[in-house]
Amino acid sequence: MQNLSLPVLAILFLAAGAVTWLAGISLTKTTSTLDSRFKLGDALGGLILLGIGGSLPELAICFSAARSGHLPIIVGTLLGGIAFQTLVIIVFDFFVKGKRPLSYLAGSIILSLETGFAVILTALALLGTIVPAKTQIFQANPLSFVIVAAWIIGLFLINKVRKNVRLNRVAPEAAPGRRHHERRAVENHPFYAHKKSWQVILIFLLACVATLIAGVILEESGSAIAAQLGINSGLFAATVLALVSSLPEISTGLESIFIGDNHLAISDIMGGNAFMLTIFLFADLIAQKPILSYTDQQDLLFAILGMAMMLVYATSFLWKPKRRFFRLGLDSILEIILYVVGLIAVSRIG
């Protein structure tokens, strides 16, 4: 696509972004429907499937980038995507109903544990950046394997902890909405409730194919756009591509907020943050290179930014600030400041 003009590239990028948005929403809803009908989340394998379904746009982009050797796109999409997806919670906070901020309504020890889990995986990714490129296991970074193993173990433990009633306590005026097991217990799930299971599976598969194709176009056209505009491809991936791949989460998260499932809206974001880091192993095996070993200062800053932003929310889920300013909690305002400062720091390095 490098030979195409900038207007044509922009049209392709926007079209692929629209397909990613629509297909991503279908993926999220069909995955949620299948989870409800078949109780997928009760088993570790089911939780893994749900994680893949929710992060397929990032998987598609990273697959295309790994195949093309565009390593900065992969790192920017994953590490920069964590910071951007965490920023999405601010949108949910703005639209939440009532006088209290989202972190107060949904905050619990469980959410802090899920967020802390994502922070730990990000720290492991940071450790992977100092591993020499020549240190490989099946041409992959050793820490990529550690991240996947830690994710599976952590997922299993958190799923067990969710069932502890004592740890699910919330503030007196809180409104977390349905728990994960309560959502699965709904027989007539709101998404595709009147469709047969085989129809839902077919929609899921078609959405997967559409997302994969759109992801390839997004990555290739995005790389060409960044090259023609003289923008660092990693920075482009961490901002513009991260926005596009987060559109389905924004849409479905807002739907959760509107129906009062405040806890689930945040949990899905933090779960996505954790899963995205496992994609490094997938990308390593496709590119046949230990991608984390090729990160630069910008990537490190994005990783630190993502950790800092998640730690702010992890603290607020326990602290539960009560006041809102301009419809936002104090934690969300701090997140905006952190992200802006982080982008300025990254641009100065670039």
pLDDT for 6-45, tens place per residue? Answer: 989 999 999 999 998 888 788 777 877 777 777 665 555 5
Give the integer Cα–Cα distance in Å for 238 and 76.
Answer: 4
Total count of domains within the chain: 1
Q: What is the CATH number of the domain that holds 288?
A: 1.20.1420.30
Residue 1 lies in a domain: no
| Residue 324 falls inside a structural domain | yes
Q: Are 97 and 110 in contact (CB under 8 A)?
A: no
Q: How confident is the model at residue 198 (pLDDT cuts 50, 70, 90)?
A: confident
Cβ pair 12, 1 in contact under 8 A: yes
* Residue 17: count of CB within 10 angstroms of its CB: 22
Range of the structural domain that residue 229 is part of: 6-349
Q: What is the pLDDT of residue 318?
A: 87
Structural domain contains residue 46 = yes
Type of residue found at 266:
I
**50: exposed, middle or buried (Cβ count in 10 Å: 0-12, 13-18, 19+):** buried
Phi, psi (rounded to 5 degrees) for 315: -70, -45
The pLDDT of residue 262 is 84
Give the span between the Cα atoms of 321 and 153, in whole angstroms. 31
Q: Which amino acid is at 179?
A: R
Q: Looking at the domain assignment, is residue 246 inside a domain?
A: yes
Cα–Cα distance between 76 and 84 in angstroms, integer?
Answer: 11
Give, in degrees to the nearest 5, the angle at Cα 332 between 337 and 324: 120
- Answer whether residue 107 is part of any domain: yes
CA distance 97 to 262: 10
CB 310, CB 270: distance < 8 Å: yes
pTM greater than 0.85? yes
